[in-house]
Chain A
Amino acid sequence: METDVVVIGAGPSGVQAAIYAARRKVSTVIIGKPSNSAAADARIENYFGVIGPVRGRDLLDNGIIQVKSFGAEFVEENVITAERDGKSFIIRTESGKEYTAKSVIMATGISRVKLGIPGEKEFIGRGVSYCSVCDCNFFKGKTVAVIGDETEAAMAAELMTKYATQVYWITKGPKAVKALVDRALLAGVIMKDVSPKEIRGDGKVESLVLGDDSEIDLDGVFIELGAKSAADLAMDMDLMPEMDNTIKVDAKYATKVPGLFACGDVVGKPWQVARAVGQGCMAGLSAADYAKGTK
């Protein structure tokens, strides 16, 4: 489907960006899961005009109602690939929806990468990996576990079945769309509905202890939390992220890639709703103007 603006991320910044873009009368699609926003679980009492504390989730729910009322399409999914195609961008979601956009706003937020369990830090590069795509090849014929609930974990688990002989997926209930989960299960992944507790080994990873105190003997643990990271999405659209994984923007919230904008936590600290919303307003206007200019 062709559209003027795609907003990636449905936190306060992305929702505000979509509201402003839609009100500029450009066709707008906002893709993301409000429940994954850092604001969703926050209690907010420092936001102008709102006497708090108010639940972030309630603000987001209202925002989604607003954004739809102004004519934008809301897709409650993760983006799994983004690429440039000439002057356009092609964005694909986890269920296979595809959008060709004149302009893209990255409002992905900052993803949590580390799990924070004993053994994780100790065994980085010795069996612990944060990138299955990077490191799959080192685990041919081995036993591995993938940890995470979202699209990245589902796709990592499926990918690893092509290399490892045994793949466990440790998830407290998958949040990825059913099609992705089914594909992993069909590929032979063994799902374990339990929390990871500790990574053990001697010089290298040897086992994973789970919340029920069971222990799996294995060679690798892939920690794949959340959706595809902003840094990865940016690189797929020919934009090099900063070393701290933030995206550099100018005063119009434009990146170096024509038509690609960014706002919210992904452009840096402080991670505040008020700041994210202000930036979303600016990015939404800039992206809409850009899309109009290319017509």
Chain B
Amino acid sequence: MITELNESNFDSFIDSHNKVLIDCWAPWCGPCRRMGPIVDEISSETKDFAVAKLNTDENQAISTRFRINAIPTLLVFKDGVLVQTLVGLRPKDDILKIMSGI
């Protein structure tokens, strides 16, 4: 199951997992609706990453903190540190390839 992040659980989620993939999205964003199922698949297949979603509309402070100004955006964290920001709709294979290099 994919965790829904918000202001109250964001930092603890990042800190409590070694590798984290976060899908930043909003309901009216067409490309986000296409990215969603891809991230769901990755979530059910990956053993190395904790996968979560962040609604950027409801969590604008986090969006500002990570300088998100386009969605979908994928944030990749390792040991609590942001190591990759992927902007725009990406094929599953591209995302897996980037994840495998983390």
Contacts and interface: CB of A to CB of B under 8 A. Distances in A.
Contacts of A139: 69
Of B34, B70, B88, most buried by chain A (CB within 10 Å of CB) is B70
Interface string A130-144: 110111011100000
Nearest to A125: B87
A144 to B, nearest CB: 11
A293 B60 CA distance: 50
A137 B57 contact: yes
A124 B70 contact: yes
Contacts of A204: 67
Task: Classify the interface of chain A: helix, strand, loop or mixed.
Answer: mixed
Contacts of B32: 134
Contacts of B37: 240
Interface string B72-97: 11000000000001011101000000
Nearest to A135: B70
Interface in A201-215: 204
A139 B69 CA distance: 8
A284 B69 CA distance: 42
A131 B29 contact: yes
A270 to B, nearest CB: 22
A134 B29 contact: yes
Contacts of B87: 124-125
B69 A125 contact: yes
B31 A220 contact: no
B82 to A, nearest CB: 14
Nearest to B87: A125
B88 A125 contact: yes
A138 B70 contact: yes
A127 B71 contact: no
A232 interface: yes
A137 B60 contact: yes
Contact of A133 (B29, B68, B72): B29
A192 B73 CA distance: 31
Contacts of A129: 69-70
A220 B69 CA distance: 9
Given A235-B34, A240-B34, A241-B34, A127 B69 contact: yes
Nearest to B72: A134
A138 B30 contact: no
Interface of A: 124-131, 133-135, 137-139, 204, 220, 231-232, 235, 240-241, 243
Given A134-B26, A137-B60, A243-B34, 8 more contacts: A124-B70, A131-B70, A134-B71, A135-B69, A138-B56, A204-B67, A231-B30, A240-B37
15 contacts: A125-B73, A127-B69, A131-B30, A131-B31, A131-B70, A134-B30, A134-B70, A134-B71, A137-B60, A138-B63, A138-B70, A220-B69, A232-B30, A243-B34, A243-B89
